[in-house]
Each structure stands twice: as structure tokens, then as C-alpha cells.
Amino acid sequence: MAASFWDDADRHLVRYGGAFTREIIDRAEGSFVFTEDGRRVLDFTSGQMSAILGHSHPEIVETVRRQAAKLDHLFSGMLSRPVVDLARRLAGTLPDPLEKALLLTTGAESNEAAVRMAKLVTGKHEIVSFARSWHGMTQAAASATYSAGRKGYGPAAPGNFAIPVPNTYRPDFTDASGGLDWRRQLDFGFELIDAQSVGSLAAFLAEPILSSGGVIEPPPGYFAALAEKCRERGMLLILDEAQTGLCRTGTWYAFERDGVVPDILTLSKTLGAGLPLAAVLTSAAIEQEAHDRGFLFFTTHVSDPLPAAVGNTVLDVLERDRLDARALSLGALLRRGLEELASRHEVVGDIRGRGLLAGLELVVDRETKRSSDELGARVTRRCLELGLHMNIVQLPGMGGVFRIAPPLTASDEEIGLGLEILDQAIGDVVKTL
């Protein structure tokens, strides 16, 4: 039966990014997925970095069952209580003036809407983002994505630019001590933007922690300086918290650390805890200006009641179980374990991230930071063989960065199990190098 499954998959499925994991997943529960042949695999990626409450959380299951039987989908111009409740509650988790919400389905869609709104409100069209960014696969989101997928599709939207990523592990601009001089790097980046701009800078779109770019966290102070660069040019600041929002980093939103408030915030992934739900949040002033100018984002599943009901349940669980604090404590446990791995394995070059979004970069030489694509790929395969699903980012200049994002509901024992398997996998692979 497995052979015919893979024959059908190979014959009929469009391949949309890398190879499929050659396991038939039958079900999932909590921190584990279970294969059809009975293997239990610890999920250290929360599905697609989304299932912050684990798989098949009983309260999510009950909400889906109840809401689907009552009210699942509506004409996009109609409203239901779950939608208005979720908009109000999301506003209550955010600082002023973020109080207006647009409920959508995916991260790409929310970024598309945010960029569209920014262009309309400012009357300008140029969008800046980070090199190594990932914002989605629709037109405006893909045009602002630089980590992958740019070759072979024709021209991106006109007026899209990138600035260097402030990577403290691999600094390009250095100070006297050899560390990253991020202020000089940021100044240089905007000098390039100003040289290329036709005077129509609309917005900067950024992830507070670049996840698909290798779990790169700009240093403290960076986003305040970036916000000032935006203000100087009349640009809006859009923050994409698809993976960092809703408690994963130990605070409700990652931008809280930096004392900045974006003009527009996009949420997805974690908001639906694995189901398709996204949001755009902004101020009443920006929403009013957009409305006055005829803002249009009429989609099939905008303001759908079923995913909105799920979003309300996600907020219930996050608040009741204080999962922001849980992410901090589990993140500290994870960090200590990764540091112990680094003490035993010379191929661990760097550990970074915040809360339960951690990055572990592998190198073949700590002194030179020389990378190897094969090393990361082999450790990933060995982890899966041992019962741990890991996601590795392999971009030019990086041998491999593991994105580690277990559910916020994981137990201490499950974190320990994942670290144990990763330890063994690295050791097994290093012996064969």
C-alpha cells in the first residue's frame, strides 16, 4: 500500500518546494505526529511553524466541531459574532493605536493586504525589506521576499528593494572589537535605498526575527533606529509576526522588546494554531485614510466565522494557561540544552533566537565559520530516522540553521527528548564525516 501511495504522489502531485518527507502521516496529537506504519515522530517545528497549542488540541477540536455545525462561511460582506469578538480581543492584546483588524487566511495574504494598504494610504509604491526575508508567495509578498524563489518568474513588482540583514554571527560591517556595527550597516543600507528610490518610498516590511532567513534577530535598538529611518522618509513600518506573534518568543509580540509600535502588524500561522487564519492590524487613522481612498481587499474567506472562532479559542488558551510565561521557561530549558550540545559538538557554531523560536547553526570550522550544506542535510535525515522532525534553513553562506519551534504546550520531558535525539544525530553524523 505504501508503494502505491508514493506512486500516486509522484505521479499526481505538483512539487512546490524541495522533496516530500517519505513518511505517510496518519495522525497527530500534542507534540507528536504518527506515521501510518506506527512510528512516533516528535514535531519540533509545530507543523509549518504554526501549531503553537500542539496538534489536535481538544479545545480547538471542539470549537471546530461546534462552529462548523452552526456557522462556517458567509458572504464576505456579512459579519458574525466570532469575527467582531476576535477583532476586539486582538486589539486588546496590542498597544495603542493598533485597534482595527482585517481577518484573512494566510501570511502571504495578510502581507499582501498590508502592502496594498500602505501603498494606497501613502500614495507611494516602493517597498523595502531585508535580504533573506520571507513574506509569502503572492505577488507583493513574493516581491518583498529575498531568501528564496526570485529566479525564473520574471520581474518582481517595481520598486522593491532590500537592505542587509544585521547578522551578529556573520557581521559584514564591524566595529573595533570585530562585532557587528549595525548602525553603520543600517545607514549604508538606506544610503543605497535613497540612491535607488524615485521618491516613492511607501513602507518597510520586516520580520522581528527573520525565521526562514536563519533565525536572525536584529540586536536591541535596531528596530527603533529602523522606525526612525521610516519616519524620516514618510514610510510606514509593517511588522510581519507570522511566526513570532502570540507568545512564541516569551512575550505576546516580539516587537514589544524593542519599544516600537508598527504602523501595520500582520499575524498568521500562530493565530490559527495550525488552521488557516491571518490578520492585519492597524490604527483607526490609517484605516480611515485607506477607506476614504477606496481600499479593496474583498476575498472569498475574509471575515469567515469558522477560523475566527478558532482564533478566539487560541486566545482563550494562551491567556488562561499563561503560555507567554511558559514559552519563556521552556525556551530557557531549550537554550540550556542547546548550549550543552555546543559544548560537546564542535560543529555547533551559533545558538540564537528567543523563547521557543531557536536557531542552531552548524559549521565545519568554528574559527572560520565555514559551512557545509551536506552536514545540515545529513543531521536532518538522521534526526528523522531517530524520531525527531527538524526543519533546516540552507541558504548561500549558511551550512544549515535548524529552526526549532516546539509547541508552547510541550512538556519539559518532550524538550529533553528532542535535545537527546538531536545530540545523538549530530554525534552519529560527525563520526561519518
- Give how far Cα 137 sits from Cα of 142, 143, 149, 250, Å: 5, 8, 8, 28
CB atoms within 10 A of CB 315: 18
Residue among 403, 351, 53 at smallest CA distance from 211: 403
Beta bridge partners of 102: 280
Annotation marks residue 240 as catalytic:
yes
CB atoms within 10 A of CB 35: 15
Residue that the C-alpha cell 507567554 belongs to: 324
Annotation marks residue 381 as catalytic:
no
The CA distance from 266 to 158, in Å, is: 22
The continuous run of DSSP H or E covering 72 comes out as none
- The pairing of strands 32-35 and 40-43 is antiparallel
- Give how far Cα 43 sits from Cα of 26, 50, 404, 408, Å: 14, 11, 9, 12
> Would you state the cell numbers that stand for residue 262, as one nine-digit string?
508598527
- The pairing of strands 160-163 and 126-130 is parallel
- In b/e form, how buried is each residue of 96-119, taking b as 16+ CB within 10 angstroms? eebbbbbbbbbbbbbbbbbbbbbb
Residue that the C-alpha cell 555546543 belongs to: 342
Q: In what order do the strands lie in the sheet with 357-362?
A: 348-354, 357-362, 401-404, 391-393
126, 240, 263, 324: which is the annotated catalytic residue?
240
Do the Cβ atoms of 117 and 290 come closer than 8 Å? Answer: yes
Annotation marks residue 184 as catalytic:
no
> Would you state the cell numbers that stand for residue 43, as one nine-digit string?
514535531
Amino acid at 262: P
The CA distance from 191 to 56, in Å, is: 49
Annotation marks residue 126 as catalytic:
no
Residue among 424, 386, 380 at smallest CA distance from 403: 380
- Give how far Cα 321 sits from Cα of 55, 199, 335, 355, Å: 17, 48, 22, 16
Residue that the C-alpha cell 510606514 belongs to: 236
233, 243, 326, 361: which is the annotated catalytic residue?
243
Annotation marks residue 43 as catalytic:
no
With both helix axes pointing from N to C terminus, report the angle between 107-122 and 284-292 in degrees, rounded to the nearest 10: 70
119, 229, 233, 269: which is the annotated catalytic residue?
269
43, 126, 207, 304: which is the annotated catalytic residue?
207
> Would you state the cell numbers that stand for residue 415, as one nine-digit string?
524538550
Annotation marks residue 414 as catalytic:
no
119, 134, 181, 241: which is the annotated catalytic residue?
134
Do the Cβ atoms of 318 and 118 come closer than 8 Å? Answer: no
Residues noted as catalytic? 134, 207, 240, 243, 269, 403
